[in-house]
Each structure stands twice: as C-alpha cells, then as structure tokens.
C-alpha cells in the first residue's frame, strides 16, 4: 500500500519540481524586466540626431556627402517650400 509508505516522490520528482520552480520564477522576472524597460523607455531621439531637414543637410555637408552648391540649392528649395506651404 502506497498510503502508508512515504509520499511516493523520489529524487527525480524533487529535482523536476525544483527545476520547474526556477524556470517559472525566471520567466516571471524576465517578463517584468522586459515590460519595465518598455514602459520606461525614452522616446526622444539621441542627442546627436538631426531634428530638422536643414540639420540633415548640414550634417551631409560636414561629412562631405554633398558639396556647397548642392547644399545651397537644397536649403533654398526647403525654405521656398516652407514659405509656400505644403502642396
């Protein structure tokens, strides 16, 4: 009769119970970390990121991707569109 001889659990049952408890709490903690990071994340762009189209053009000119003539032409186009408004 099983009822009068211990609980019926052997070493493997205790090991499986311990491993499953560790995995359960690890999953709970990992979920809390992911949710916390997502909620506390800052949505602003990094400090070095350009914020306006003219800043982008200035950065491209500084890196040498465009020359001064193209920079002047594109900034004039941008300013003309700002005065005229969107189409």
Examine residue 17 and state whether it is found in any structural domain, yes or no: no
Range of the domain at 72: 53-84
Residue 82 has pLDDT above 80, yes or no: no
With contact defined as beta carbons under 8 Å apart, do 33 and 27 qualify? no
Distance of CA 54 to the CA centre of its chain: 27
Q: Alpha-carbon distance 39 to 62, whole Å?
A: 36
Residue reference for tokens 């000119």: 61
Stated pTM of the model:
0.44
- What domain count does the chain have? 1
Examine residue 62 and state whether it is found in any structural domain, yes or no: yes
- Identify which of 33, 28, 5, 72 has the alpha carbon closest to the alpha carbon of residue 80: 72
Q: Which tens digits make up the pLDDT trace of 16-42?
A: 999 999 999 999 999 999 999 998 887
């Amino acid at each position: 009769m099983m009822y009068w001889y211990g609980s019926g659990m052997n070493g493997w049952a205790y090991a499986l119970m311990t491993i499953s408890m560790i995995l359960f709490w690890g999953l709970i903690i990992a979920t809390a970390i992911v949710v916390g990071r997502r909620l506390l994340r800052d949505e602003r762009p990094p400090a070095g990121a350009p914020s306006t189209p003219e800043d982008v053009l200035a950065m491209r000119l500084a890196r040498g991707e465009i020359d001064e003539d193209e920079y002047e032409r594109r900034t004039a186009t941008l300013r003309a569109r700002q005065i005229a408004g969107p189409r």
